[in-house]
């Protein structure tokens, strides 16, 4: 933060992103050798393409039977040795659903090797894929870290606020702490720099925003009598919000909660009690959205 400027969360561009299948194929290439077997290998694999495609829609048994038929048919040919079959299976794995390999009805060291390689691929995607996408949700990108008052805060969690019985998506929220925590009580009461970023996913009226804040404070036991003058000042800074507008609450111990609306600093509300009450709206015993609370806790 420099002066009165606070970097707002970036919105993802419309650039197309690779599908999970294409990502899987690229990662699989790292763990498996390129198949270079004879022509009969390609022909056999071609016979199973339609079955593989159907497996994507839930017909797993067909892929299983197809693979088993190919293996059994070639078992009587000594020239088509174990290495050739292994190469074909690896190639088949690289373009088949994740579950199909785990359900292939072929046994032995080759399948165990292929399954192990596939498991490694899936673990690779699960770990690195989650890390890469941790700050992206509903077309909104949140930075993995922000710097405030010379301190680096890390993204603790990101989630979507949903409202009404129809689960209308209202905004994406990202929560930052100096040290990650999964304890709501610790987050509310800890005297560390913390920040909540919100990016609107729909238009919201100013009166609705203020009403939500007020109800959230009351539901979580805030002393509204002592907070009223400060809450009125806080509410006075609110305005109608449009889709993709941003709202940030940033707490610095000894200073208070700074409100940044649409990239402009509106002011700071002093008092740790106000900060505790405000963050209770998301992390209290009666949060506005339980799913959002868990997401911001990184659960």
Residues of the chain with pLDDT under 70: 1-135
**What is residue 29's predicted lDDT score, i.e. its pLDDT?**
52
201: left (phi over 0), alpha (psi -120 to 50) or beta: alpha
Position 204 scores a pLDDT of 97
Q: Among 144, 157, 148, 132, which residue's Cα sits nearest to residue 9?
A: 144
Mean pLDDT of the chain: 73
Give the span between the Cα atoms of 132 and 154, in whole angstroms.
14
Write the CATH number of the domain with boundaries 136-296: 3.50.70.10
Distance CA 225, CA 230 (A): 10
Q: What is the pLDDT of residue 283?
A: 98
For residue 270, the model assigns a pLDDT of 97
Q: Which ranges in 32-183 belong to alpha helices (H)?
A: 39-47, 49-56, 60-74, 82-94, 98-102, 109-124, 130-133
Q: Are 160 and 267 in contact (CB under 8 A)?
A: no
Please give the pLDDT value at position 21.
52
- What pLDDT score was predicted for residue 5? 46
């Amino acid at each position: 933060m420099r002066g009165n400027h606070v970097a707002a969360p970036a919105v993802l561009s419309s650039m197309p992103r690779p599908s999970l299948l294409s990502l899987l194929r690229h990662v699989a290439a790292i763990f498996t050798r390129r198949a270079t077997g004879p022509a009969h290998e390609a022909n056999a694999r071609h016979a199973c393409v339609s079955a593989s495609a159907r497996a994507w829609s839930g017909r797993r048994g067909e892929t299983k039977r197809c693979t088993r038929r190919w293996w059994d048919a070639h078992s009587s040919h000594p020239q088509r040795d174990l290495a050739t079959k292994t190469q074909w299976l690896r190639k088949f794995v690289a373009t088949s659903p994740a579950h199909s390999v785990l359900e292939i009805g072929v046994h032995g060291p080759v399948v165990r090797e292929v399954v192990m390689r596939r498991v490694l691929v899936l673990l690779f995607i699960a770990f690195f894929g989650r890390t890469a996408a941790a700050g992206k949700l509903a077309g909104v990108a949140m930075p993995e870290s922000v710097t405030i008052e010379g301190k680096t805060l890390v993204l603790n969690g990101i989630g979507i606020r949903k409202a009404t019985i129809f689960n209308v998506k209202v905004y994406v929220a990202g929560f930052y702490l100096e040290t990650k925590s999964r304890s709501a009580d610790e987050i509310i009461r800890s005297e560390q720099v913390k920040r909540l970023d919100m990016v609107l996913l729909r238009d919201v009226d100013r009166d609705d925003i203020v009403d939500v804040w007020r109800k959230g404070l009351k539901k979580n036991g805030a002393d509204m009598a002592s907070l009223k003058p400060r809450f009125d000042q806080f509410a006075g800074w609110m305005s109608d919000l449009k889709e993709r507008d941003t709202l940030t609450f940033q707490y610095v111990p000894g200073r208070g909660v700074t409100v940044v609306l649409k990239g402009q600093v509106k002011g700071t509300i002093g008092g740790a009690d106000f900060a505790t009450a405000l963050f209770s709206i998301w992390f209290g015993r009666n949060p506005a959205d339980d799913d959002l609370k868990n997401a911001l806790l990184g659960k």
